[in-house]
Amino acid sequence: MRRNSRPGPAGDRHWRGSARLAAVCAGVFAALTLFIDWDAGTLTAPRALLWTALSAAIFAVLLPHRVTAGPGWLTVRGPLRRQTIRTDALTSVQEYGDVSTHLVLRDAYGHRLELEPRVLAANPFLWHELDTGVRRSLERGTLRQGTQVLEHLSRQIDGETAQAVLRASGLS
């Protein structure tokens, strides 16, 4: 008997490694500062609390946003807030920045989401979910601004994917 197995939401496959790196960096900072302070003989409870708080702040800054997507939706979760949009009801897509670009997506329900394009480039399943939602938005006529941004991003992601396939096969 075959089970009806519906795949779960697509997620950033590199998030765990990046989160682990953020935890290691914060932990190393905490260990080094506490050890140096202890070795100097100046470690007190308030100073230990200060170093611990600074380590937690470093972790919060380095922790990447977690991106997940499913049929018709895209979510970005940060340490303090969660942004979700309906990809099948997008109204605009804008790209900001020159060196470190980010996308701003808006849907017909007034929701807004910011996302780094490199996350989409590194995760084909996330890109597929967004692309499917964009196509639905175009069919419904809700997407009125930013199609050129998405076409440019699509060409860029497709080019990177083709290069990765060529490298993996030994042809490049």
pLDDT reported for residue 90: 93
Separation of alpha carbons 84 and 11, rounded Å: 14
pLDDT digits (tens, 9 = 90+) for 97-118: 877 788 999 999 999 999 988 8
Asked if residues 138 and 89 have their Cβ atoms less than 8 Å apart, the reply is no
Average pLDDT, the chain: 88
Q: State how beta strands 10-11 and 112-115 pair.
A: unpaired
Q: According to the 3-state scheme, what is the secondary structure of 6-49?
A: CCCCEECCCHHHHHHHHHHHHHHHHHHHHHHHHHHCCCCHHHHH
pLDDT, average across residues 121-137: 89
